[in-house]
Amino acid sequence: MENSLLIGSDNRITSRTSCIGIWLAHAKIKVAEMPYMSLLRLQESVWLWGYPSGCGAIEVLPGRSPGRQAQNEGGLGDRGMGRRTSHPTPSRGGRGVNRTKVHWLKEIPLHTAVLEAVPGIGNVGKLIVDGLVSTHQSELIAMFLHPDMPPHATLGPDGILRPSHISMHSVNLGDSNILCIGSNAQPMTASGQYEMSEKILETLNEHSTSPLYVLAGLAMPPESKDIHLVCSDLRIKEQLEERGLRVKSDQPESGMIGLAGLLISMAPLYGVDVVGFVAETVGGATDAAAAERLSRFIEQEFGTAVALSLDRTQKIASELLESVGISESAIAELMGEPGLGDLYV
């Protein structure tokens, strides 16, 4: 049977056709070993099509994923920002399946904001995210895995060895919850960073209506202590300016690369409200003072109770320095690639 679609008792659909189309509504789809398969998501349904024979198998998984919930009715913080509307996830066109995998551990609870930060200049954002996760009651919700993450498995606080990943934690602030997305690394290739950003934004589009705050640092002289707001959506920019907040159009002057830049710039394509917070920092491995300053700014201007004391950010900075077993440059050398240095904001 050269043109057949086989459905087995184990819910696996195997294609032997040279060109097929399948419409699967309201189903979770897992694509396995399909090098010539493209996937286009259309809201709650999925359209799959394949090319040469031997495409592999599609697994239809019963049940539901952690549901998208009506989260923050106030939009960007509780200071009167309008709530965003849902957008369908963009098509990947002919680029094949995203290699990022999401390992879900718990359902996403109601939350008012999403904070994201990965290692960068001064580790300003990372100190805040790590500080919130370790200071407040928190739960690991999901792990984002990608083959281009550094090949460095690490022991968690529970003594369990886990592969390099980007984590999503739910953090209880008392009156509300927030989500914190962070890691000790990010994918080491441009394609890996793009796919990881895409998967994070797809996840937020599906499971959250709360704003995304991307936290980063910008290397400047010691006397510079500004915090720059960066937008990729004119509507969000105008709303912030109406509140008297200045959205910079000249900083960061050289742009942003890595996950921070991709998440901010691509968020409107996925219907995710986003604001980039770029704190000026002296750079180096950690800048606890800049992290403390940025956390206070977010709490004062956006009403999200994330402020951390300088003592706390300094303690997190010390723990971060002690926990680093392999630096980015060492991992790059191990992989036979040039180090990335301090290019990431």
Q: Where are the domains of the chain?
A: 5-61, 101-334
178, pLDDT greater than 80: yes
Maximum separation of any 2 CA atoms in the chain, in Å: 73
Q: What per-residue confidence (pLDDT) applies to 231?
A: 94
Question: How far is residue 97's CA from residue 33's CA, in Å, rounded to a whole number?
Answer: 10
Q: What is the pLDDT of residues 286-306, one digit of tens each?
A: 888 899 999 999 999 999 989
Query: Strands 177-182 and 166-172: what pairing?
Result: antiparallel
Q: What is the pLDDT of residues 122-175, one digit of tens each?
A: 899 999 999 999 999 999 999 999 999 999 998 887 888 999 999 999 999 988
Question: How far is residue 218's CA from residue 42's CA, in Å, rounded to a whole number?
Answer: 38
10, pLDDT greater than 80: no
Q: What is the pLDDT of residues 208-263, one digit of tens each?
A: 989 999 999 988 888 888 999 999 999 999 999 999 999 988 877 788 889 999 99
Q: What is the DSSP letter of 108?
A: P
Q: Which two tokens stand for residue 333?
A: 């050398």
Contact by Cβ (8 Å): 289, 227: no
Bridge partners (DSSP) of residue 32 are: 57
Q: What per-residue confidence (pLDDT) applies to 328?
A: 46
Backbone angles phi, psi at 318, to 5 degrees: -65, -45
Kind plus residue range of the DSSP H or E element containing 201: helix 190-207
Lowest mean pLDDT among 8-22, 90-104, 281-295, 309-323: 8-22
Q: What per-residue confidence (pLDDT) applies to 317?
A: 75
Task: Tell me the mean pLDDT in the region 49-69.
Answer: 39
Torsion of CA 154, 155, 157, 163, to 10 degrees: 50
Classified as helix, coil or strand, 109 is coil
Question: How far is residue 197's CA from residue 146's CA, in Å, rounded to a whole number?
Answer: 11
Question: How far is residue 211's CA from residue 325's CA, in Å, rounded to a whole number?
Answer: 33
332, pLDDT greater than 90: no
Bridge partners (DSSP) of residue 21 are: 49
- If one compares 274 and 41, the residue with the highest pLDDT of the two is 274
110, pLDDT greater than 70: yes
- If one compares 203 and 305, the residue with the highest pLDDT of the two is 203
Share of the chain above pLDDT 90, in %: 47
The closest alpha carbon to 225, from 307, 274, 292, 308, belongs to: 292
The closest alpha carbon to 288, from 311, 270, 321, belongs to: 311
Q: What per-residue confidence (pLDDT) applies to 301?
A: 93
Q: What per-residue confidence (pLDDT) applies to 18?
A: 33
Q: Which CATH architecture has domain 101-334?
A: 3-Layer(aba) Sandwich (3.40)
Kind plus residue range of the DSSP H or E element containing 25: strand 20-25
> Which residue's structure tokens are 């180090």?
339
Contact by Cβ (8 Å): 138, 171: yes
Question: How far is residue 88's CA from residue 67's CA, in Å, rounded to a whole number?
Answer: 15
3-class secondary structure per residue, 237-290: HHHHHHCCCCECCCCCCCCCCHHHHHHHHHHHHHCCCEEEEEEEECCCCCCHHH
